[in-house]
Amino acid sequence: MKTIERILAVYEIEENLFEKGISVLAGIDEVGRGSWAGPVGVGVVMATSVDICRFPEGIRDSKLLSPLAREKLLPKIEQFCLGFGIGFADNTECDELGMTKAQALAAERAVKSAGIVPDMILLDGKFNFTEFKNVINIVKGDSRSLLIASASVIAKVTRDALMTAYDKEFPQYGFCSNKGYPSLRHRQVVERIGLSPIHRKSWKVLSI
């Protein structure tokens, strides 16, 4: 049987918090902040000390996993966690609210979709961009926290699928391969034909 020590490996943060009496712990990570197009997304994964012992091996920062590895992990994470959710703020909301508030809105939607109120939230990065108070910020959290890494997988797979769908609607921009990020082809297409309806029009880098 898997033990929490074996599953967490270097992920000691969760273990320490469970030992201190935290019952329901959540990890949150965002995706799409640096994208030129599409929504910013926030994933959340919640677990108790019992749940986390059942998590699949191989979970790590989604950026270090191949697309196939992420897709294989996703249903296993969803199966064994206590709850999960994904929230988006679309490109219009990113323009109107600014990125920090758009991320906060996406985080609120993610936790609401999970349907569970966690006792504590582990959040990747230096700053609490959410409006939640029970937050511990962890620099490089997606490589130090199992729950944040799990949230990064859910957020990445879900947003990538959305951008792949957008690629069929706006094939000129190559969203299937660049997922809205500023690749050379993406930049060249924007220079040639302008922005699509899902681009973030307030970004100065796109004022060509």
Per-residue pLDDT of 187-197, as tens digits, reads 999 999 999 99
Give residue 136's domain range. Answer: 4-159
Does residue 141 lie in a domain region?
yes
What confidence tens digit (pLDDT) does each residue in 59-99 have?
988 888 899 999 999 999 999 999 999 999 999 999 999 99
Does residue 99 lie in a domain region?
yes
- Residue 5 parent element (H or E): helix 4-8
d(CA 176, CA 193): 18
Check which CATH number belongs to the domain holding 134 and give it: 3.30.420.10
> What pLDDT score does 62 carry?
86
Does residue 184 lie in a domain region?
no
In the chain, how many domains are there? Answer: 1
**Helix extents (H) in 60-173:** 67-80, 91-97, 99-114, 146-169
In single-letter form, the type of residue at position 17 comes to L
Residue pair 41/99 in contact (Cβ under 8 Å)? The answer is no
Give the pairing type, strands 40-47 and 135-138: unpaired
> What pLDDT score does 200 carry?
95
Does residue 145 lie in a domain region?
yes
Low-confidence stretches of the chain (pLDDT beneath 50): 1-10, 207-208
d(CA 1, CA 8): 14
Does residue 114 lie in a domain region?
yes
Q: What is the pTM of this model?
A: 0.91
> What pLDDT score does 60 carry?
83
> What pLDDT score does 204 carry?
66
Burial of residue 54 (CB within 10 Å: 0-12, 13-18, 19+) is: middle
Sign of the CA dihedral running 16, 17, 23, 29: negative
Does residue 113 lie in a domain region?
yes
- Please give the structure tokens belonging to residue 134: 């029970």
